[in-house]
């Protein structure tokens, strides 16, 4: 069982580190570009797409939130790879993976493959925590 958890940990860590790095390699959001993207869609037919564009561009425009999420994904992904910090990394990563799952569930419900992918990442994160529940109890007692 330990080998399975180690493999799942590496899979989760790779996806999180890759996602975190992507957040730093993207271009900065320009308000005019965001408005032009939104104007391509009609509100009544594409409300979800517009909400997604506004949500992501809003996080990027803060100048820190998008990068903070990326830094967290990289740091917690690295913590999950290291066996000694795996449980703490998985616990700290849980709200991040939950937020990604809820983002896809509410703003991209039509994209079933993406939804399945992030649900699987959340499930892997949960399995890592549940498989170490005795250590988690110790951590919080």
pLDDT at residue 69, rounded to an integer = 94
Residue 108 has pLDDT above 80, yes or no: yes
Per-residue pLDDT tens digits for 27-50 = 677 777 777 877 887 767 777 788
**Alpha-helical segments (H) within 26-141:** 31-39, 47-61, 65-81, 86-107, 112-131, 133-139
pLDDT at residue 3, rounded to an integer = 93
Per-residue pLDDT tens digits for 87-106 = 999 999 999 999 999 999 98
9: part of which helix (H) or strand (E)? helix 2-25
Torsional class of 18: left (φ above 0), alpha (ψ -120 to 50), beta (otherwise):
alpha
Q: What percent of the chain has pLDDT over 70?
A: 98
Mean pLDDT (the chain, rounded): 89
Distance of alpha carbon 32 from alpha carbon 135, whole angstroms: 50
> What is the rounded average pLDDT of the residues 13-18?
97
pTM, to two decimals = 0.85
Nearest to 72 by CA among 89, 48, 54: 89
Let me know how long the chain is. Answer: 141
pLDDT at residue 46, rounded to an integer = 77
Residue 139 has pLDDT above 80, yes or no: no
pLDDT at residue 107, rounded to an integer = 84
52 vs 93 pLDDT, higher one: 93
First to last CA, the chain: 25
User: Which of the four pLDDT bands, split at 50, 70 and 90, describes residue 53?
Assistant: confident
pLDDT at residue 14, rounded to an integer = 97
> What is the rounded average pLDDT of the residues 118-134?
95
């Amino acid at each position: 069982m330990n080998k399975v958890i180690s493999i799942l940990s590496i899979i989760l860590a790779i996806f999180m580190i890759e996602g975190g790095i992507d957040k730093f390699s993207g271009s900065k959001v320009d308000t005019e570009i965001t408005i032009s993207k939104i104007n391509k869609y009609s509100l009544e037919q594409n409300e979800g797409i517009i909400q997604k564009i506004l949500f992501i561009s809003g996080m990027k425009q803060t100048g820190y939130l998008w990068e903070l999420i990326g830094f967290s994904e990289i740091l917690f992904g690295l913590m999950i790879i290291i066996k000694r910090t795996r449980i703490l990394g998985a616990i700290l990563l849980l709200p991040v993976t939950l937020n990604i799952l809820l983002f896809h569930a509410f703003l991209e419900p039509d994209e079933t493959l993406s939804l399945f992918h992030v649900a699987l990442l959340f499930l892997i994160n949960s399995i890592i925590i549940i498989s170490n529940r005795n250590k988690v109890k110790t951590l919080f007692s």
